[in-house]
Amino acid sequence: MSRVLQLGDRKYNLDKRTLVMGILNVTPDSFSDGGNYTRVEKAVEQAFKMAEDGADIIDIGGESVRPGFIPISAEDELNRVMPVIIALKKDHTFPLPISIDTYKAAVAEEALKMGVEMVNDVYGFKADQKLAKVVADYNVPICLMHNRSSTDYKNLIADIIEEINESIQLAHQAGIKDEQIIIDPGIGFGKDLQQNLDVMYYLREFNSLGYPLLLGTSRKSMIGKTLHLPLEKRVEGTAATVAYGISAGVSLVRVHDVLQMRRVADMTDAMVRR
């Protein structure tokens, strides 16, 4: 399996360094930073700040998928994300590739038309299977995250791997190449606290699938419940998960605190990537 990830005209050797994906939520209700970047100017400013802080990719999302979220229409989602994408892409001065965090084919297609280089689907093609064809048509990388509505598993890790394989099969059926697939075990989605901790413990098992692994733990409830800390005090807990994840074979980390996690990633890389 290829260990080179191509995003637009950029190539990243995943064996040499961990990629840091900066989170840019242009939503009023995201669990951590909802409402902070709903104005285009603030969102663009934050994107450039994350680039300066060491991000490799910016992941833009227009719909919160936190527990108990209320789905919005593709039109509403586009109204949130497209002005930011257009502002970042229009004059070619923004230095990083952009990922669109969406499970809707219509949203992804409009973003990809504007030059977005990647799609991040929190439902792994199971919410809108038309998305797989869009990704295949544009030949961009796709992150397939594990997600489900129930925490009732027969065998936690085996069940998650089986369900990720179902998403991979949907990708293959649409004609998506293996080198374009990234997988995410879905910390915080369809899992309770102990199950999230178990996924972290067995993180190396997901390398058996043969695809680059993305880890998204930033500021999540697993950290808050373990350390009994509010959102704004979870940076050290996030750092622990990032360092552990990289040592277990993770290739990309999706984070809010880019500056700190870039340093954590670089230090961990220096120890484990030989």
Q: Which residues of 142-176 are buried (b: 16+ CB within 10 A; e: fewer)?
A: bbbbbbbeeeebeeebeebbebbeebbebbeebeb
Phi–psi pair at 40, nearest 5 degrees:
-55, -45
Q: Give the domain extent around 182.
A: 17-272
Q: How many domains is the chain built from?
A: 1
pLDDT at 74 over 70: yes
Q: Are 119 and 135 spatial neighbours (Cβ–Cβ below 8 Å)?
A: yes
Residue 6 forms part of a structural domain? no
Residue 148 forms part of a structural domain? yes
Residue 8 forms part of a structural domain? no
| Structure tokens belonging to residue 107 | 């949203």
- Look at residue 2 in the predicted model and tell me its pLDDT: 57
- Look at residue 137 in the predicted model and tell me its pLDDT: 98
Residue 10 forms part of a structural domain? no
Q: Which residues of 84-94 are buried (b: 16+ CB within 10 A; e: fewer)?
A: bbeebeeeeeb
- Segment 192-208 shows an average pLDDT of 98
- Look at residue 48 in the predicted model and tell me its pLDDT: 97
- Look at residue 262 in the predicted model and tell me its pLDDT: 98
- Look at residue 29 in the predicted model and tell me its pLDDT: 53
Residue 211 forms part of a structural domain? yes
- Segment 1-6 shows an average pLDDT of 81
Q: Which residues are catalytic?
A: 220, 254
Residue 243 forms part of a structural domain? yes
pLDDT at 1 over 60: no
CATH number at residue 96: 3.20.20.20
Task: Report the predicted TM-score, pTM, of the whole model to 2 decimal places.
Answer: 0.94
- Look at residue 68 in the predicted model and tell me its pLDDT: 65
pLDDT, tens digit (0-9, with 9 covering 90-100), for 140-151: 999 999 999 999
pLDDT, tens digit (0-9, with 9 covering 90-100), for 75-115: 999 999 999 999 999 978 999 999 999 999 999 999 999 99
Maximum Cα–Cα distance for the chain, whole Å?
A: 51
- Look at residue 116 in the predicted model and tell me its pLDDT: 98
| Structure tokens belonging to residue 59 | 């992941």
pLDDT at 35 over 70: no
Confidence of residue 153 (pLDDT cuts 50, 70, 90): very high
Residue 9 forms part of a structural domain? no
